[in-house]
């Protein structure tokens, strides 16, 4: 395990879910997606979240990503109860502390890799010069130097995911939330993406929370958390991540 994860154990948790429930609908049609979830994640950890369809893992990731709030219970980010924040405050938390990577890449098709990576900084109001410099640095960090002006259609699947990761890290987030980041890739490209995510976790200290259904990809994490029926069924620390 890397030093960042060990160092984080003596510090207050970066992320803490305390008795979190999430219910959609009311009365007879109510669906309880989460049923009292407790989860603690420290700075620098790499946590894989697994579970069957309908287990609650995606709902938990939406709450962790400040895209939703608990029905009951509390989500604490660096000690702040996120559910007490306004919609705008949660948006600022997302913008300043969280980076997102999705299975489908979610790149804008008519813009270059560089422009895609610049987008979060545009929302922040950064100057063009600052955006260009930061985007070039992020693309270099994921091995895409020389591909800055190519459109997504001109990139392979693995390169598109690298561009998406560059977009996620260009703001220097504290947390990278990855939803099936290798789901659309072949085995070799998937391993390359996982090696990249591991390097970002190890070398930059970015905390990683990754949803995956692939055990061989989860093996890269420090911990594997299994969700079943809206609850955490197991939380296992791996002594030797892949």
Q: Are 2 and 198 in contact (CB under 8 A)?
A: no
Cβ atoms of 44 and 4 within 8 Å: the answer is yes
Residues contacting residue 77 through CB under 8 Å, at least 6 positions apart: 14, 15, 93, 97
pLDDT value, residue 10: 58
Of the candidates 74, 70, 119, 124, the one whose C-alpha atom is nearest the C-alpha of residue 97 is: 124
Opening angle at CA 62, ends 26 and 178, nearest 5: 155
pTM more than 0.95: no
Which residue in this structure is represented by tokens 């420290």?
Answer: 42
Q: Which two tokens stand for residue 204?
A: 């930059």
> What confidence score (pLDDT) does residue 4 get?
46
**pLDDT (0 to 100) of residue 82:** 96
In the chain, what are the domains? 3-237 (3.40.50.300)
What confidence score (pLDDT) does residue 5 get?
A: 47
Q: Are 200 and 222 in contact (CB under 8 A)?
A: no
Query: Tens of pLDDT along the chain (242 residues)?
Result: 444 444 444 567 999 999 999 999 988 888 999 999 999 999 999 999 999 999 999 999 999 999 999 999 999 999 999 999 999 999 999 999 999 999 888 999 999 999 999 999 998 889 999 999 999 999 999 999 999 999 999 999 999 999 999 999 999 999 999 999 998 899 999 999 999 999 999 999 999 999 999 999 999 999 999 999 999 999 999 988 77
- Which pLDDT value is given to residue 240? 81
**Residue 241 has what pLDDT?**
78
- Number of other residues whose CB lies within 10 A of the CB of residue 10: 7
Residue 29's pLDDT is 86
So what's the pLDDT on residue 111?
94
Confidence at residue 239, expressed as pLDDT on a 0 to 100 scale: 84
- DSSP-assigned letters across all residues of the chain: --HHHHHHTTSPPSEEEEEEEEEES-GGG-EEEEEEEEEEE-TT-EEEEE--TTSSHHHHHHHHTTSS--SEEEEEETTEEGGGS-HHHHHHHHHHHEEEEETT----TTS-HHHHHHHHHHHHT--HHHHHHHHHHHHHHTT-TT-TT--GGGS-HHHHHHHHHHHHHTT--SEEEEESTTTTS-HHHHHHHHHHHHHHHHHH--EEEEE-S-HHHHTTSSEEEEEETTEEEEEEE-SS--
Inter-residue contact 143 to 162 (CB < 8 Å): yes
């Amino acid at each position: 395990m890397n030093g960042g994860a060990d160092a984080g154990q003596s510090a207050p948790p970066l992320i803490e879910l305390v008795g979190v429930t999430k219910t959609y609908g009311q009365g007879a049609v109510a669906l309880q997606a989460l049923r009292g979830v407790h989860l603690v994640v420290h700075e620098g950890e790499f946590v894989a979240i697994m579970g069957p369809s309908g287990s609650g893992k995606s709902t938990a990731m939406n709450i962790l990503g400040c895209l939703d709030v608990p029905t009951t219970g509390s989500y604490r980010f660096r000690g702040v109860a996120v559910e007490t924040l306004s919609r705008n405050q949660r948006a600022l938390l997302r913008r300043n502390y969280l980076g997102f990577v999705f299975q489908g890449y979610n790149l804008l098709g008519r813009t270059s890799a560089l422009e895609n990576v610049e987008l979060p900084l545009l929302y922040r109001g950064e100057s063009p010069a600052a955006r260009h410099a930061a985007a070039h640095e992020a693309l270099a960090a994921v091995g895409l130097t020389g591909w800055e002006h190519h459109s997504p259609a001109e990139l392979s699947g693995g390169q598109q995911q690298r561009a998406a990761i560059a977009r996620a890290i260009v703001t220097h987030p504290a947390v990278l939330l990855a939803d099936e980041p290798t789901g659309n890739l072949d085995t070799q490209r998937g391993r390359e993406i996982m090696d990249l995510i591991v390097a970002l976790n190890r070398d930059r200290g970015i905390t990683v929370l990754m949803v995956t259904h692939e055990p061989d990809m989860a093996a890269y994490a420090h911990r594997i958390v299994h969700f079943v029926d809206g609850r955490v069924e197991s939380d296992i620390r791996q002594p030797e991540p892949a």
